[in-house]
Amino acid sequence: MQDLASTNPVKFVVTADGLRSLGRHVHRALGSRHVGLVVGRRAYKLAGKHSLSSLRKAGYDPVLFELAEGERYKTLTTVESLWSRLLKSGFDRSSALIALGGGGICDLASFAASTLQRGIPVVQVPTTLLSQVDAGLGGKTGINHGAGKNLIGTFWRPSISVMDIKVLDTLSDRQMRSGMAEMIKAAFLGGEPFWSRFIKRMELIYSRDEKSLLWSVKKCCNIKARVVTIDERETLALGTERGIGDEPGRVALNFGHTLGHALELMPGIRRLTHGEAVALGMRFAARIAWELGVCEIGLIKQLEEVLDRAKLPKHFPKVDWLDVARAITVDKKRRGGPKGYILWVLPERIGKVKLVPISVQDIHSRRFRAVYENGGKN
């Protein structure tokens, strides 16, 4: 049977009007509804007023739900308090939520929307570069659990995602670099000619050049939307060996994330942003790919040059490999029980990744330790 969702394209719009057209886009997607604006504190200060006034102009009377931002608040406790506030304010199945903030707020607000009364619509308004090219579209919601990042979550497609590049003017350089890592990932997956055109414009993107931002955010969203449309629930690589090899589907978007997620929550090291962790994860995946004969050495150099130019971290944090290996093997991408394997997304060439099953035992091996500690044979 054909999955209806897969024939239904992901809806998003990339604008540059400081969210003045937000109300119009929301209305097109939701019609008239009781809406709640779930907003990160920072995003509220920066973009709350414009968003509220645009929503009011479109006929909405939004209820405001301000939340603390940051990975440590992306928890069930925050969701529970949001559920309570929503129910107290009369939110029901005829209502909808609009999430305004970085990826953390988008993930959390859409998780709350997907579970409130078995699911109410959500509109994503991502305000960081990272969330505009990644977290804000695709419909994965999530909260963290003591055992790992994003371990609890749902698939809940936003009615529309509205990315306004003007809100990026206030983003710190570090957060721009974090978003750049996900852009590099998308460009890698998108392949040529986008890859070469994109890397030529990286500096323009950092300087918030409007034309370059509009072009590149749209392109990266298109790349993600295409993958999500063919494999919305990440089932292509599930269960059977069918997904191993040529048809990774949505799992391809996890390029850099296996090591990345482990480093992001690793205690005792300098806190990494999501993008910094993903950049290190892509460097590591390329080195492992070379070790296992999946890619040529030239690919490592090509990828590392781009990550260096983007001023993303070069060195793996000084922490015992066994701790990293342990964190990796609790990752939700582990298959086949505790002694099973991880499906690692390894780069083969620009535009092509391969899913390679790597056993928990191999991950704990000296070979992997050597790649982490010395960069492997390279």
Ligand X SMILES: NC(=O)c1ccc[n+]([C@@H]2O[C@H](COP(=O)([O-])OP(=O)(O)OC[C@H]3O[C@@H](n4cnc5c(N)ncnc54)[C@H](O)[C@@H]3O)[C@@H](O)[C@H]2O)c1
Q: Which residues contact ligand X by CB under 6 A?
A: 40, 42-43, 46, 69-71, 74, 101-105, 107, 127-128, 130-131, 134-135, 138, 140, 142, 150, 167, 170-171, 175, 178, 273-274
How far is CA 109 from each of CA 32, 91, 357, 377, rounded to the nearest angstrom? 20, 14, 33, 44
Q: Which is nearer to ligand X, 71 or 291 (CB)?
A: 71
Instruction: Provide φ and ψ at 222, rounded to 5°.
Output: -60, -40
DSSP secondary structure letter of residue 365? S
SS3 204: helix
What residues contact residue 228 under an 8 Å CB cut-off, 6+ apart? 10, 137, 138, 139, 250
**DSSP E strand boundaries for the chain:** 12-15, 34-40, 63-67, 95-101, 122-126, 143-145, 148-152, 160-164, 334-335, 341-349, 352-359
Q: Give the whole-angstrom CA distance, residue 281 versus residue 272.
A: 12
CA atoms within 13 A on the CB side of 77: 6
Q: Which is nearer to ligand X, 250 or 360 (CB)?
A: 250
DSSP state string for 236-257: TTSSSGGGSSS--GGGGGGTTH
Q: How far is the CB of 280 from ligand X (least distance, A)?
A: 15
Closest CA to 138 of 28, 43, 221: 221
Q: Which is nearer to ligand X, 25 or 42 (CB)?
A: 42
Q: Give the whole-angstrom CA distance, residue 344 versus residue 363.
A: 11
SS3 99: strand
Q: How far is the CB of 73 from ligand X (least distance, A)?
A: 9
Q: Which is nearer to ligand X, 95 or 141 (CB)?
A: 141
Six-digit token string for 299? 């690919």
Q: Residue 204's CB: how many other CB atoms inside 10 A? A: 15
Q: Which is nearer to ligand X, 236 or 300 (CB)?
A: 236
Q: How far is the CB of 138 from ligand X (least distance, A)?
A: 5
SS3 353: strand
Q: Give the whole-angstrom CA distance, residue 168 versus residue 208.
A: 8
Q: Which is nearer to ligand X, 105 or 327 (CB)?
A: 105
Q: Give the whole-angstrom CA distance, residue 66 versus residue 192.
A: 42
Q: How far is the CB of 290 from ligand X (least distance, A)?
A: 26
Q: Which is nearer to ligand X, 294 or 327 (CB)?
A: 327
Q: Which is nearer to ligand X, 138 or 243 (CB)?
A: 138
Q: Which is nearer to ligand X, 68 or 87 (CB)?
A: 68
Q: How far is the CB of 370 from ligand X (least distance, A)?
A: 29
Q: How far is the CB of 11 from ligand X (least distance, A)?
A: 16
Q: Parallel, antiparallel, or unpaired: how do β-strands 341-349 and 34-40 relate?
A: unpaired
Q: How far is the CB of 264 from ligand X (least distance, A)?
A: 8
Q: How far is the CB of 153 from ligand X (least distance, A)?
A: 8
Q: How far is the CB of 28 from ligand X (least distance, A)?
A: 23
